[in-house]
Structure 1
Amino acid sequence: MSEQEPSICDQETYDQIFRNHYDTVTRYLYYKCGNLQQAEDIVQNVFVKLWELCASVSFSKVKAYIYRAANNTFLNEKAHEKVVLKHLRTKETDTDNATPEYLLEMEEFREKLKKAIANLPEKQREVYLLSRMEKKSYLEISQIVGIGVKGVERRISKALLQLREVLGNDLKF
């Protein structure tokens, strides 16, 4: 006779999950990023998302969900930081020899690109940023995300098509 799993949507069960995993996940992220505040913020957001999706996450897989969501959120933040740093470095070198019109066009394009990437569906954005910003191979991405290489290829292809629609056909990705 098998017992039914407890529901994560039950407040007591959710509180117990929070108490059991909050500190360890926070430490896990702190070791990865070296910033306690950032780690706490990520974990807090993961638990908020877990509460929102409580009906779709099974109790037996909640620990894996929490760690995967925390890791993915951390990777997304790192990818975003790299984009910002690259943007700032590019901006510094561009300003030396560029006309004001060119600088304005570049700034508008960067904003449009940021918006386009932010508007990608989460799964497509994740693999796109891992590929283009983290310079990960499709195999590495498939291992991080937990899908096959063909799935990574499909997501990146869809992301590129959507970005091309928004930004125009003359862009090179």
Structure 2
Amino acid sequence: MSKDLKEDICEETVFERVYNKYSKDLNDFLYYKYGAQYNPSDKAQDAFMKLWDNCKKVTLSKAKSFLFTVANNMMLNEIKHQKVVMKFEKETPKKYTNETPEFLLEKEQYFERYQAVLESLTEEQRVAFLLSKVEGKKHAEIAEMLGVTKKVVEYRIYSAFDKLKEGLGDFKIK
């Protein structure tokens, strides 16, 4: 049986030997091929992390090939990502909206009144309402969190809705 098959990369001493043997070469390869702008040392480290994650699948004789292939692919993915970033940086966001000043004023007034009505709710109503509508929790989940029954949670949420409708009467809410 050959020495490669006996040595397992998952053993720390073997992995350390592989790291010491190929880390500088891998870093230099990435630096010379792609330059410093894509952090070749980070990609080299990431390649070794992938090798460690896949140590059961990679034999010692294939370790160098695995490292260089993985690191090269990481660099190519980084370059693709940078191209996408540059494309979106070139696009200028529109500096206008289709919202009228009246709408913006109404929106601000509505938000202020909504905050005031939320503050006027009891703590139990506010907590149940916000857990349901803001965080999207189900009534049963809220009941379990608060240590009450599902009916109590439903009552708190619906009574909070009633107060919101009452407090925001001139605004149309659903």
TM-score by length of 1: 0.51
**Percent of aligned pairs with the same amino acid:** 32
Give how far 1:2 is off.
4.2
Q: How has the CA–CA distance of structure 1 residues 81 and 36 changed in structure 2, closer, same or farther, with 3 Å as cutoff?
A: closer
Structure 2 residue aligned with 1:76:
77
Q: How has the CA–CA distance of structure 1 residues 52 and 2 changed in structure 2, closer, same or farther, with 3 Å as cutoff?
A: closer
Contact 2:38/2:75 (CA < 8 Å) preserved in 1?
A: no
Give how far 1:33 is off.
2.0
- Kindly provide the CA deviation profile for residues 133-164 of structure 1, in whole angstroms up to 9, marking residues without a partner as x: xxxxxxxxxxxxxxxxxxxxxxxxxxxxxxxx
Poorly superposed stretches of 4+, deviation over 2 Å: 1-5, 98-101
Aligned pairs (5 A) from 1:24-173 = 24-35=25-36, 38-89=39-90, 91-92=91-92, 94-95=93-94, 99-100=96-97
- Kindly provide the CA deviation profile for residues 93-152 of structure 1, in whole angstroms up to 9, marking residues without a partner as x: x53xx6436xxxxxxxxxxxxxxxxxxxxxxxxxxxxxxxxxxxxxxxxxxxxxxxxxxx
Structure 1 residue aligned with 2:16:
15
Q: Aligned equivalents of 2:97 and 2:12: distance in 1?
A: 57
Could you say what secondary structure the match of 2:39 adopts? helix
Q: Aligned equivalents of 2:14 and 2:58: distance in 1?
A: 13
Give how far 1:36 is off.
7.3
Where do 5+ consecutive residues of structure 1 fail to align? 102-173
Q: How has the CA–CA distance of structure 1 residues 28 and 36 changed in structure 2, closer, same or farther, with 3 Å as cutoff?
A: farther
Q: Aligned equivalents of 2:6 and 2:25: distance in 1?
A: 23
Higher helix share: 1
Aligned CA-pair RMSD: 2.0
Give how far 1:37 is off.
7.4
Amino acid at match of 1:100: T
Give how far 1:48 is off.
1.1
Where do 5+ consecutive residues of structure 2 fail to align? 99-174
Q: How has the CA–CA distance of structure 1 residues 17 and 86 changed in structure 2, closer, same or farther, with 3 Å as cutoff?
A: same
Structure 2 residue aligned with 1:145:
none
TM-score by length of 2: 0.51
Q: How has the CA–CA distance of structure 1 residues 9 and 82 changed in structure 2, closer, same or farther, with 3 Å as cutoff?
A: same
Amino acid at match of 2:97: P
Could you say what secondary structure the match of 1:9 adopts? coil
Q: How has the CA–CA distance of structure 1 residues 62 and 39 changed in structure 2, closer, same or farther, with 3 Å as cutoff?
A: same
Q: Aligned equivalents of 1:16 and 1:100: distance in 2?
A: 61
Q: Aligned equivalents of 2:40 and 2:18: distance in 1?
A: 18
